[in-house]
Amino acid sequence: MGSMNIGDVNKGSKLIFDNAPWNVQEVNFVKPGKGNAFYKLRVQNLLTRNVLEKTLRGGEKCESADVNDTDMEFLYQDANGYNFMDQTSFEQMSVSTERIGDDKDFLLENSQVVVTLWNGEPIAIRLPNTVEMEIDYTEPAVKGDTQSRVMKEAKLKATGATVKVPIFCAIGDRIKVNTQTREYSGRVDK
């Protein structure tokens, strides 16, 4: 998308290395008093999520990546993948099953997500931090034990995902799940 001087790179800049888009997580400027300047970057590959340290010399040019985050609503899944609608332009876009990956477990119809576009093509989605889902099946609840840290498996409606829940949870309960850690974070009051 054009070149930029390494000196203009900040946290959050998007750069191209090895034909892939990377997000700059951290920039450190290092330099002996009288000598060459270097920039030590921590970058994350937006396709693979790999994190790397990269060292560049002062004055070097970098290629900036055309990467944008767009608010979208998840509509439905079909044979081509997952279909989203841009909340400002109302245009629809399909994201492949491969790009969605494990996020499919917590991707609920009509939920709001952030879709990351590279050169206009979707490369990743960012789910809400927590989602509310209903327990489809779990072992019978152990009543009264709301303090226990003993966990059991529960299968969730809508996506069929499995998460660990406390033993007091029952079929039909609505629970909150942290989408980043995939952990139970509370029961929604009925």
Partner 1 sequence: MNQGSGLRALLQRRTAAVAAVRSFFAARDVLEVDVPVLQGGANLDHGVVPMAVETGRGRRFLPTSPEHPLKRLVAAGAGAVWALSPAFRHGEQGRRHSPEFRMLEWYRPGLDDAALANEVVALCQLVTGLDGPTTVLPWREAYRTFVGLDPASADDAAVIAACGPDATAVAGDRGAALDLLMATRIEPRLGLGEWTVLTDYPASGCAQARLRHDQDGWPVAARFEVYRNGLELANGYHEVTAANELAGRFQLELDQRQDPRLVMDQGLLAALANGFPDCAGVAVGFDRLLMLAWGVEDIAQVQAIPFAEA
Which residues are near partner 1 by CB under 8 A? 7, 27-38, 40, 55-58, 60
Instruction: Name the one residue in this structure whose structure tokens are 């960012």.
Output: 126
Cα dihedral: 169, 174, 179, 185 (round 10): -50
Query: Closest approach of Cβ 131 to partner 1, in Å?
Result: 37
Nearer to partner 1, 10 or 48 (CB): 10
Q: Is 74 within 8 Å of 92 (Cβ atoms)?
A: no
Query: Closest approach of Cβ 27 to partner 1, in Å?
Result: 8
Nearer to partner 1, 5 or 87 (CB): 5
Nearer to partner 1, 31 or 126 (CB): 31
Query: Closest approach of Cβ 69 to partner 1, in Å?
Result: 24
Query: Closest approach of Cβ 9 to partner 1, in Å?
Result: 11
| Element (DSSP H or E) covering residue 3 | strand 3-5
DSSP string for 71-112: EEEEEEEETTEEEEEETTT--EEEE-HHHHGGGGGG--TT-E
The token pair at 189 is 């009051």
Nearer to partner 1, 36 or 80 (CB): 36
Q: Is 178 within 8 Å of 185 (Cβ atoms)?
A: yes
Nearer to partner 1, 10 or 147 (CB): 10
Q: Is 65 within 8 Å of 16 (Cβ atoms)?
A: yes
Query: Closest approach of Cβ 4 to partner 1, in Å?
Result: 13
